[in-house]
């Protein structure tokens, strides 16, 4: 945990690096999936995710929320401008849930050649295990690292010269709190309550379905493995080893198949050996829906909150993550993706059952008290999130109100009005 009593620590508390990954589907103006090949082969920041028509924008590393949003929007403009000039013009779908799906053929697995052909093989494995339709869900991943200058100020003498060991322990602490409190992100960032009928049943194209979820993608029906992972946070070697156990048992094929809202990652490629030998470089928060009302998929206010939330989690005490606690945390994530927060209940840290609405306000108020006690003014950032709850301004509610009588049709009109 970061000790705020150490001299100069507060000066560097919000010094960090941000990287964003954003997935989105390429579609035609009638709401059907693009049939063209990926048109950004020469751009390392605009790649493919699962399928050929699923764009993934990866920003460069930035050092503020403002820079990160500007970087994401820059590449989003490049994508939308390029798509508009294709022989058959295309649009970028701004929602986490897909539009019309006519068949599996609409979702062609991304084809990689030569030394990268294993990527295609891996995607075929995912399609067999989870189904192609689920792979069309899109979202944003928030990657964050604290500055080494901050962490070195906090490194106790007991670690000697082994700064990497201290850094690993700090990120393990952060991961535990992020898993414990991360369900709040589902509450505040969910924006995918509606599905086109074709997702659930062939022939229902154009019908709109509502499954009482604020985020289908983050709910029980979304991105989860067929088991509840229980990870070992006692050391970074143990953490990596607990993931390797699931690979060895055949429950997942690689570390990238661990569909978990929080990941600790090494620098570069997601690699467990590198994680063990080189240590943690950053944390990845994965349960963020696309916000269709923000160009790029995430607003500056929300990105600032993610940073404040991460700072809060690294500065506050954590509990041991016993198996029962971890299973409860996963269940909390799924429940917090519900639409009706007052009639959905989670188990809080102290073992009490509380409705999600009340529990969400309690965490936000705890954050307010914590930062106020440290004379750190982030009140505007936290109040922006509180107002979503107090004034019924959650994105999921807005999407439901605007698009429930024709999700795909009205979604298409929404895009065209925005261009």
* Longest alpha-carbon distance in the chain: 66
Residue 127 lies in a domain: no
Domain with 155 in it: 9-21+140-418
pLDDT in tens, 319-333: 889 999 999 999 999
Q: Within 10 Å of residue 15's Cβ, how many Cβ atoms?
A: 13
Section 42-68 average pLDDT? 97
Residue 104 lies in a domain: no
Query: How much is the pLDDT for 57?
Result: 98
Query: How much is the pLDDT for 102?
Result: 92
What's the CA dihedral at 49, 50, 54, 59 to 10 degrees?
A: -10
CATH at 147: 3.30.590.20
- β-pairing, 91-92 vs 262-265, is unpaired
pLDDT in tens, 204-227: 999 999 999 999 999 999 989 999
> Which H or E element spans position 303?
helix 300-315
Look at residue 42 and tell me whether its pLDDT is greater than 90.
no
Query: How much is the pLDDT for 349?
Result: 82
Query: How much is the pLDDT for 115?
Result: 83
Query: How much is the pLDDT for 328?
Result: 97
Residue 265 lies in a domain: yes
Query: How much is the pLDDT for 266?
Result: 96
Residue 159 lies in a domain: yes
Residue 173 lies in a domain: yes
pLDDT in tens, 333-386: 999 999 999 999 999 888 899 999 999 999 999 999 999 999 999 999 999 999
> Which H or E element spans position 274?
helix 272-278
Q: Is the pTM of this model over 0.95?
A: yes
pLDDT in tens, 115-169: 889 999 999 999 999 999 999 999 999 999 999 999 999 999 899 999 999 999 9
Question: How far is C-alpha 35 from the geometric centre of its chain's CA atoms?
Answer: 27
Q: Which residues contact 271 (CB under 8 A, 6 or more apart)?
A: 255
Q: Which residues contact 27 (CB under 8 A, 6 or more apart)?
A: 33, 34, 53, 90, 91, 92, 93, 99
Query: How much is the pLDDT for 53?
Result: 97
Closest CA relative to residue 283, chosen from 303, 312, 262, 306: 262
Closest CA relative to residue 419, chosen from 72, 69, 89, 91: 91
Residue 92 lies in a domain: no
Q: Within 10 Å of residue 249's Cβ, how many Cβ atoms?
A: 9
pLDDT in tens, 88-126: 999 999 999 999 999 999 999 999 988 889 999 999 999
Look at residue 1 and tell me whether its pLDDT is greater than 90.
no
Section 175-188 average pLDDT? 98
Contact criterion met (CB below 8 Å) for 356 and 343: no
Q: 3-class SS at 47?
A: strand
| List of E strands, 241-400 | 262-265, 282-289, 345-347, 353-355
Percent of the chain with pLDDT over 70: 100
b/e code 297-332 from CB counts within 10 Å (16+ = b): bbbbebbbbbbbbbbbbbbbebeebeeebbebbbeb
Look at residue 419 and tell me whether its pLDDT is greater than 80.
no
The rounded distance, in Å, linking the Cα atoms of 286 and 295 is: 19
The rounded distance, in Å, linking the Cα atoms of 24 and 97 is: 10
Query: How much is the pLDDT for 269?
Result: 80
Contact criterion met (CB below 8 Å) for 202 and 100: no
Chain position carrying tokens 């850094």: 167
H-assigned helices in 109-162: 117-130, 148-154
- β-pairing, 282-289 vs 262-265, is antiparallel
Residue 255 lies in a domain: yes
Residue 221 lies in a domain: yes
Q: What is the CA radius of gyration of the chain?
A: 21
The rounded distance, in Å, linking the Cα atoms of 193 and 174 is: 30
The rounded distance, in Å, linking the Cα atoms of 274 and 269 is: 9
Percent of the chain with pLDDT over 90: 93
Section 393-404 average pLDDT? 98
The rounded distance, in Å, linking the Cα atoms of 415 and 419 is: 6
pLDDT in tens, 220-250: 999 899 999 999 999 999 999 999 999 999 9
Number of structural domains (the chain) is: 1
Whole-number mean pLDDT of the chain? 96
Section 46-58 average pLDDT? 97
């Amino acid at each position: 945990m970061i000790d705020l009593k150490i001299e100069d620590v507060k000066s560097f508390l919000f010094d960090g690096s941000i990287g964003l990954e954003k997935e989105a589907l390429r579609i035609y103006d009638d709401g059907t999936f693009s049939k063209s090949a990926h048109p950004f082969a020469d751009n390392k920041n605009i790649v493919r995710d699962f399928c050929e028509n699923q764009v993934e924008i990866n920003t460069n590393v930035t050092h503020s929320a403002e820079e990160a949003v500007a970087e994401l929007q820059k590449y989003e403009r490049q994508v939308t401008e390029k798509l508009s000039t294709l022989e058959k013009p295309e649009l970028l779908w701004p929602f986490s849930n897909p539009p019309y799906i006519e068949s599996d053929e609409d979702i062609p697995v991304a084809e990689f050649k030569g030394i990268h052909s294993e990527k295609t093989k891996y995607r075929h494995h995912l399609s067999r295990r989870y189904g192609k339709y689920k792979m069309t869900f899109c979202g944003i991943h928030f990657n964050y690292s604290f500055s080494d200058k901050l962490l070195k100020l906090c490194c106790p003498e007991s670690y000697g010269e082994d700064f990497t060991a201290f850094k690993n322990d700090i990120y393990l602490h952060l991961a535990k709190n992020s898993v414990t409190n991360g369900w709040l992100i589902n509450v505040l960032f969910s924006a995918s309550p509606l599905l086109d009928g074709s997702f659930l049943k062939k022939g229902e194209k154009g019908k709109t379905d509502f499954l009482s979820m604020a985020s289908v993608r983050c709910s029980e029906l979304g991105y989860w493995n067929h088991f509840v992972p229980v990870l070992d946070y006692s050391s970074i070697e143990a953490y990596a080893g607990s993931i390797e156990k699931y690979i060895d048992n055949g429950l997942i094929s690689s570390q990238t198949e661990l569909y978990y809202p929080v990941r600790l990652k090494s620098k570069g490629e997601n690699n467990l050996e590198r994680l063990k030998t080189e240590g943690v470089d950053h944390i990845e928060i994965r349960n963020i829906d696309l916000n269709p009302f923000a160009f790029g998929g995430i607003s500056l206010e929300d990105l600032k909150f993610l940073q404040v939330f991460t700072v809060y989690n690294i500065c506050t005490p954590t509990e041991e993550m016993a198996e029962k606690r971890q299973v409860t945390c996963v269940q909390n994530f799924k429940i917090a993706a519900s639409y009706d927060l007052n009639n959905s209940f989670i188990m809080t840290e102290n073992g009490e059952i509380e409705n999600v609405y009340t529990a969400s306000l309690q965490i936000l108020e705890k954050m307010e008290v914590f930062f106020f006690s440290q004379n750190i003014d982030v009140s505007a950032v936290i109040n922006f999130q509180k107002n979503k709850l107090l004034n019924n301004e959650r994105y999921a509610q807005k999407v439901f109100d605007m698009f429930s009588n024709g999700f795909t049709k009205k979604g298409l009109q929404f895009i065209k009005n925005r261009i």
